[in-house]
Amino acid sequence: MFGRRKKRDAAEDAAGEAEQVVDGVDTEADEAEAERLRLEPAPRPDGPWDSSEVRDPGEGRVDLGGLFVPGVDGMELRVEVAGDAIVAATVVLRDSAIQLQGFAAPKREGIWGEVREEIATGITQQGGIVDEVEGPLGWELRAQVPVQLPDGTGGFQVVRFVGVDGPRWFLRGVISGQGAVQPQAAGLLEQIFRDTVVVRGEGPMAPRDPIVLKLPNDAQMVPEGVQQEEEGSRFAGGMGQLQRGPEITEVR
């Protein structure tokens, strides 16, 4: 009797210890994942650049206030509006494009890890497919996003989400067209992303607030309808982030 009871007690103790070990592993894994998402911004030896790191950000770039976007031959530059604010710029180059958008970020904490998770969750909830890979610009998402085709049927748009954390800012890029379908053909778009200069400003901003842009002085207005900012996470990767809004175009 005593012997059997001791064996049972030993088995229960062992099971309890095993459960504690499993719980400990899960907790450690969760903590490690949280730390991975909250890493300090990594060095940016190849850009994108903070305005304090560039002597003359306007040299060879288009001044959009919060962003200085490199100009290349044959490109078309569109700025996109949410409500009354200009919040994104899209560079169109032949059959590819990259949308650029800057956001405020914590002083000592990068947000690209968390943003990637939010984008991936938003796309998969829509029925899309997402792969996280390490590309030329660091960790990125290569996604197939559900869209409605011109004939009314459903289809997918292939896009790449890239991002870099800087000092108190985060720059996101969305590459579409052939640069997303064939990433090896996106070299010039990736260089535009690297050579963009972000002007965060010294004023107080809540983390993840968009860095507002302005029109270039010599811009030409080309109205294309009205786009309103969608509710929900501005990082969620919905097609509202990719559609064209009111535009100012500059052809170089």
- The pLDDT assigned to 31 comes to 54
How do beta strands 61-63 and 197-198 pair? unpaired
Sequential pLDDT tens for the chain (252 residues)? 334 444 455 555 554 544 444 444 455 555 555 455 556 677 778 889 999 999 999 999 999 999 999 999 999 999 888 888 898 999 999 999 999 999 999 988 899 999 999 999 999 999 999 999 999 999 999 999 999 988 989 999 999 999 999 999 999 999 999 999 998 889 999 999 999 999 998 889 999 999 999 988 766 555 554 443 333 333 433 333 333 443 444 444
Question: What is the residue extent of each domain of the chain?
Answer: 1-37, 49-251
In the numeric block, the tokens 């569109």 are attached to 78
What is residue 13's predicted lDDT score, i.e. its pLDDT? 54
- Which residues does 46 contact at the CB level (< 8 Å), separation at least 6? 194
Q: Cβ(237)–Cβ(145) under 8 Å?
A: yes
Q: Say what the pLDDT of residue 206 is.
A: 93
pLDDT for position 217: 73
Q: Which CATH number fits domain 49-251: 3.40.50, 1.10.8, 2.130.10, 3.40.1000?
A: 3.40.1000
Task: Please identify which residue in the block is written with the tokens 């899309």.
Answer: 128
- pTM score above 0.85: no
Residue 30: CB atoms within 10 Å: 10
What is the reported pLDDT for 246? 39
Indicate the pairing of strand 247-251 with strand 49-50: unpaired
For residue 232, what pLDDT is reported? 36
Provide the pairing of β-strand 75-82 with 85-93.
antiparallel
